[in-house]
Structure 1
Amino acid sequence: MIKLIASDMDGTLVSSNHKISEADARAVKKAQEKGIEFIITTGRSYEDAVPQVHQAGIECNYLVMNGSELRNENGKIIQSLYLSEMLVRDIVAELENANLCVELYTTGGTFTPSDAERRKWAVAAKINQFHPKISVEEAYKSAGEHFLYREVTPIASLDEIFENDYFVGKIISFSHDTEKIAALRRTLPAIYPVNVTGSFAINLEITNPLADKGQAIKTYAEKKGIHLKEIMTIGDSYNDLGMLDERFGYTVAMGNAIEEVKEAAKYQTDTNDENGVGKAIERFVQID
């Protein structure tokens, strides 16, 4: 019997039109009505995750920044795993030396110490990721006007974060140079005590070594008295691999998932544009 459903957002619960479908939301709410807990597990910050979830009418807890924070349905921080100031400074310096744009998810918002040029190329890589028909070069031309560019606060120095007593939950970096990103995923954990993963081939997500989606779910379930066999997890990308531990009872890959996720999961559902989350819930949970 399933007692907990943990779902990723981007590429999973959120469709390519950046919304949670009515069918997926309906299945989630019906499962909740049966007493099954639903929790969001995402690489996003809480502030970035909550609008789409609320718009779909879903009330739930959140494991955000790949498990760096656990928030309740009202946004209160229940537990946290942040990065130390020294580690943040060292890693940001390394990423900037690699000519990458850097963003920091903090308790005070999302900031970037990178210059405008790097930020525009990073936004162009994001646009191309979501809209492959638009080339990176074409996306760059309007990147400075895009909401993805404007929603991150530029800072002159990391001092602006630490002097305000903000804590860093995740360091993220984007580049259309996927080979460079893949290499850093391998090398950074060998140098620093961090967990390094990503939502897409174009990005790095760097967190506390204990901030892993799978481990966060296990810790959460243990405190709730939920056995691992009573947990269903759903994901699509690199940062979801920890959620696909075979000890979980039901691990589900989206139809649009990367091959590594499909190989690791016990089951597969339809894509995020075909209500894959809702169909997985209907398959394994007896809902009307």
Structure 2
Amino acid sequence: MKRGGQVKLSMVAVDLDGTLLGGRQDRYGIRDEVTESFHRLAVKGVAISLVTGRDMPFILGLLKREGIDPQRDGWPRYIIAMERAIYKWGPAATGTEAEEETAGGYIPLADWNKRVEAAERSQYTWLRAKIDEEINGRLGEIDPKVHHIDTALEEYKGFVELIFQNADYARRAESFLNRLLDDGAVPYRAVRNVAGIAIRHQMAGKGPALAELCRSENIAFHQVLAMGDSGNDLSMLDGRFGFLAAAPANAEIEVRQAVARAGGYLATGKCGEGVAEAVEFYLTRQIA
């Protein structure tokens, strides 16, 4: 669907850092106009999903800090955390495994979450050793200061993650690493987020996780509006799954180009201001 046509929105899926978060003068938080737009969506029955690399403790803390009560406010109905783990708001049945794993009222899509995390962890040790060889080789040539994130944090996440001095170094490294991984020996790829690169299993990522959420909830892909600003958002913005797409004005050039090619909406506002702008654009084209 090109941006000028009518749409039927069933879900709005939005990235956090640099998209939903940012653009406030007083703090790093959610802008008031976004809250108002999301309220309008919830009233119309449109589900809101947060899709982020952040983990559930951070997300639940953010909701509490921003004064968002999912039961009262109707959003977010879904959360995709660490770009792989899917959660749905709602009560778990007493005594079930789901109840034991419920996070702040959100129930995990347990089978999917366990499978994708196991897939990511399955080659972690081997991949870390392989990447360390390249840190002492080609990656070190690209950026002599490239390094892993904190070891304990990396092991908690279960995948290799690197930090570069700037986004340009990371772009060059991403191209090199994906050529290295394209031999097909393992189903992994390098995914850049500004100046960071994560080595992710092909089951993981915002696009694949959002697609799995849609399948589990019987939501048509073309009725989902996805919004993001950086390279790790591309898999839900570039049209490969058929989601509607939008990007704020502060999005990286690669993201804005991908959204434009997919016929999506390029906001003039940055961060949350752009989110509210995109929501209003599509709401005016919403089929009743």
Return the match for 1:187 from 176, 197, 213. Answer: 176
Q: Is the 8 A contact 2:20 2:271 kept in 1?
A: no
- 1:86 Cα deviation (Å)? 5.2
Question: 1:4 maps to which residue?
Answer: 11
Q: Is the 8 A contact 1:9 1:41 kept in 2?
A: yes
| TM-score, normalising length: structure 1 | 0.70
CA 1:47–1:270: 2 relative to 1, 3 Å? farther
Question: 1:206 maps to which residue?
Answer: 199
| TM-score, normalising length: structure 2 | 0.70
**What is the letter of the counterpart of residue 36 of structure 1?**
V
Encode CA deviations 1:168-217: one digit per residue, 9 max, x unaligned: 444322120545533432333433421321221x1012222111211222
* % same residue: 19
Range moving further from structure 2, 190-199 or 17-26: 190-199
CA 1:54–1:285: 2 relative to 1, 3 Å? farther
Q: Is the 8 A contact 1:12 1:236 kept in 2?
A: yes
Map 1:193-232 onto structure 2 (within 5 A): 193-200=187-194, 202-232=195-225
Return the match for 1:87 from 114, 123, 128. Answer: 123
Unaligned 5+ segments in structure 2 are: 1-7, 71-75, 90-104, 136-144
SS in 2 for 1:240: helix
What is the distance in 1 between the residues matched to 2:228 and 2:69? Answer: 18
**What is the letter of the counterpart of residue 33 of structure 1?**
V
- 1:241 Cα deviation (Å)? 0.8
Question: 1:256 maps to which residue?
Answer: 250
- 1:65 Cα deviation (Å)? 1.7
What is the distance in 2 between the residues matched to 1:228 and 1:36? Answer: 14
Unaligned 5+ segments in structure 1 are: 104-111, 114-152
What is the distance in 2 between the residues matched to 1:233 and 1:58? Answer: 22
- 1:19 Cα deviation (Å)? 0.7
What is the distance in 2 between the residues matched to 1:50 and 1:35? Answer: 22
Question: 2:226 maps to which residue?
Answer: 233
- 1:27 Cα deviation (Å)? 1.1
Count of residue pairs brought into register by the alignment: 228
What is the distance in 2 between the residues matched to 1:193 and 1:274? Answer: 34
What is the distance in 2 between the residues matched to 1:170 and 1:208? Answer: 9
Aligned-residue Cα RMSD (Å) equals 2.6
**What is the letter of the counterpart of residue 202 of structure 2?**
P
- 1:7 Cα deviation (Å)? 0.4
| 1:65 maps to 2:82 | yes
